[in-house]
Amino acid sequence: MGSDNKDSKKDEKPPHNVRVDGFWMDATPVTNRQFKEFVDATGYVTTAEKAPILEEIMKQVPPGTPAPAPELLVAASLVFKPTQGPVRLNNIRQWWAWISGANWKHPTGPDSSITGKEDHPVVQVSWYDAEAYAKWAGKRLPTEAEWEFAAYGGQKDVAYVWGNEEFSEEKPQINIWQGQFPYKSTKPNGYIGTTDVKTFHANPYGLYDMSGNVWQWCSDLYHVSHYAEEAKKQISVNPTGPATSYDPEEPYALKYVHRGGSFLCHSSYCKGYRITARMKTCPDTSLNHLGFRCVIPSWYKSKE
């Protein structure tokens, strides 16, 4: 697990030995159709459909940070907005906007819809939302180790789910950004944003979208030095992540891991579509490029 190749970031290092027990994984990320069944059955209201609580927000920022303006404390979510032209890629606020009315039913704002996108992955779901769905479905979120094991699909020494060849804009292997990020997409109409979950080939385990389309929540907390601690062991068996969360970029924020990259990844900025690439986000955050899939242990399937 992990990598030390030229594209690897600090939190992917060092590679370390892991063993996981057998498990079954959803063939695709959870779709809008599936998530709607959950909401219709339970009446569940997602995080993005509720106004944020000021006290919870202030726990995630350094002491003395000014409170956000009252008009921002509304039901909303984060939505990607292309910039008008080339920009320096050191400030993500240039292409993310806090949009009132954005949620899983309206992924990019109140004027958007999932009609006709029933087989696209559900997005604008927080970690809490993903956990609630998994529990309802009799499943759970994958550990980060399970996710990485599944992404390889039994292959060894490969950087990507399709092998070691670099991404091809002429014959794309997955759904990521094509063109110049974050202002110019060269994709044909209908392929900008999420796509149907079975648009691209499955990996050798029959799993679709293990790379690209949407990032996928895992059950593990994020700690920047967790891999270094795991590497001290001869082998880590069924690891479930660190006991505490720590991201030096936002030291007061609790964060969980998500994996796989999304339709916004591009080699010029984010090679998050590499198998070992990691990302982290607060559990109450939802974005229009972040979804999830579920797992169940192998013994559960065998008893059916």
Binning pLDDT at 50, 70 and 90, where does residue 304 land? very low
Range with the poorest average pLDDT among 101-110, 249-258, 284-293, 295-304: 295-304
Q: Is 128 left (phi over 0), alpha (psi -120 to 50) or beta?
A: alpha
Asked if residues 220 and 144 have their Cβ atoms less than 8 Å apart, the reply is yes
Binning pLDDT at 50, 70 and 90, where does residue 278 land? very high
Binning pLDDT at 50, 70 and 90, where does residue 301 land? low
Task: Look up residue 201 and give its two tokens.
Answer: 């080939």
Residue 176 one-letter amino acid:
I
pLDDT of residue 192: 87
259-275: average pLDDT = 96
82-106: average pLDDT = 96
Instruction: Give the global pTM.
Output: 0.95
185-194 confidence digits (pLDDT tens)? 999 877 889 9
Cβ atoms within 10 Å of 184's Cβ, excluding its own: 13
**CA gap 200, 217 in Å, rounded:** 20
10 pLDDT higher than 90: yes
pLDDT of residue 302: 56
Nearest Cα to 240, choosing from 141, 139, 137, 132?
A: 141
DSSP character at residue 142: P
Alpha carbon 284 to chain centroid distance?
Answer: 13
Average pLDDT, the chain: 96
**CA gap 92, 266 in Å, rounded:** 14
216-226 confidence digits (pLDDT tens)? 999 999 999 99
30-43 confidence digits (pLDDT tens)? 999 999 999 999 99
**CA gap 271, 260 in Å, rounded:** 10
